[in-house]
Structure 1
Amino acid sequence: MRRRSLILAAVPAGLVTLAGCGDDSSDSSGKVDSSASPSASAPSAAPAPKIVDGPLPAITAGTKFGEKPTVAKGSGAPSDQLAVKTVIAGGGRTVAEGDYIQAQYLGQIWDTGKVLDNSYDRGAPLLTQLAQGSTMEGWRYALTGKKAGSRVQFAVPPTWGFGKEGNAEAGVKGTDTLVFVFDVQDTFNARSSAEGKKVPQDDAAVPKVGTNTDGKAPSVEIPKADPPKKLVSGYVIEGDGEAVAADDTVLVQYKGVVWDTGKEFDSTYQRSALTSFSLQQVVKGWAQGLTGKKTGSRVVIVIPPDLGYGDRPPAGSGIEKDSTMVFTVDLLAKM
Structure 2
Amino acid sequence: MRRLAGLIIVPALLLTAACGGDGGSDSTTPSKNGLPAISEGAKFGQKPTLEKGEGDPPKALKVDVLSQGDGKKVVKGDAIQVNYLGQSWDSDKPFDNSFDRKQPFDLTVGAGMVIKGWDQGLEGQKVGSRVELGIPPDLGYGAQGQGDIKPNATLVFVVDILKATQVPKSAAGTEVPQDDKALPVVGTNDDGKEPTVTIPKGDPPAKLVSNYVLESKGEVVKDSDTVVLNYAAYLWKGAKQFDSTYKTGRTTSFPLPQLTLKGLKSGIVGKKVGSRILVVIPPDLAFGDQEQQGIPKNSTLVFAVDILAKV
Q: Give the share of equivalent positions with the same residue, in percent.
A: 33
Alignment of 1:123-162 (within 5 A): 124-128=103-107, 135=114, 138-143=117-122, 145-146=123-124, 149=127, 151=129, 153-156=131-134
- Cα displacement string for residues 225-256 of structure 1 (whole angstroms, at most 9, x for unaligned residues): 986543221343454375235xx986532124
Q: Are the equivalent residues in 2 in contact too, given 1:297–1:331 (CA < 8 A)? A: yes
Does 1:254 pair with 2:231? yes
Correspondence for 1:9: none
Rounded to whole Å, the distance in 2 between the matches of 1:220 and 1:177 is 43
Correspondence for 1:279: 259
Shift of 1:182: 3.0
Correspondence for 2:33: 54
Alignment of 1:287-302 (within 5 A): 287-291=265-269, 293=271, 297-302=275-280
Shift of 1:329: 1.0
Does 1:106 pair with 2:81? no
Number of residue pairs the alignment of both structures matches: 278
Q: Are the equivalent residues in 2 in contact too, given 1:233–1:299 (CA < 8 A)? A: yes
Rounded to whole Å, the distance in 2 between the matches of 1:181 and 1:305 is 40
Q: 1:241 to 1:70 in 2, by over 3 A?
A: farther
Q: Are the equivalent residues in 2 in contact too, given 1:73–1:112 (CA < 8 A)? A: no
- Cα displacement string for residues 236-278 of structure 1 (whole angstroms, at most 9, x for unaligned residues): 3454375235xx98653212467799x5634332343445676
- Cα displacement string for residues 86-140 of structure 1 (whole angstroms, at most 9, x for unaligned residues): 5247645622xxx785322233779999988664675643124778996456434
Alignment of 1:130-279 (within 5 A): 135=114, 138-143=117-122, 145-146=123-124, 149=127, 151=129, 153-156=131-134, 178-183=156-161, 185-186=163-164, 192-194=169-171, 198=173, 201-202=176-177, 204-205=179-180, 209-220=186-197, 228-235=205-212, 236-238=214-216, 239-240=218-219, 242-244=221-223, 252-256=229-233, 265-266=241-242, 267-274=244-251, 279=259
Rounded to whole Å, the distance in 1 between the matches of 2:288 and 2:91 is 56
Where 2:246 maps in the other structure, the secondary structure is helix
Rounded to whole Å, the distance in 2 between the matches of 1:269 and 1:185 is 25
- Cα displacement string for residues 66-91 of structure 1 (whole angstroms, at most 9, x for unaligned residues): xx2576977x9688334314524764
| Mean Cα deviation higher: 294-303 or 218-227 | 218-227
Rounded to whole Å, the distance in 2 between the matches of 1:224 and 1:237 is 27
Does 1:303 pair with 2:281? yes
After superposition, the CA RMSD in angstroms is 5.9
Rounded to whole Å, the distance in 1 between the matches of 2:235 and 2:75 is 37
Rounded to whole Å, the distance in 1 between the matches of 2:116 and 2:290 is 41
Residue segments in structure 2 that go unaligned for 5+ positions in a row: 18-31
Rounded to whole Å, the distance in 2 between the matches of 1:271 and 1:132 is 9
Rounded to whole Å, the distance in 2 between the matches of 1:167 and 1:270 is 26
Correspondence for 2:62: 83
Could you tell me the TM-score, scaled by structure 1's length? 0.52
Could you tell me the TM-score, scaled by structure 2's length? 0.55
Correspondence for 2:28: none
Residue segments in structure 1 that go unaligned for 5+ positions in a row: 1-12, 17-28, 41-52, 63-67
Where 2:84 maps in the other structure, the secondary structure is strand
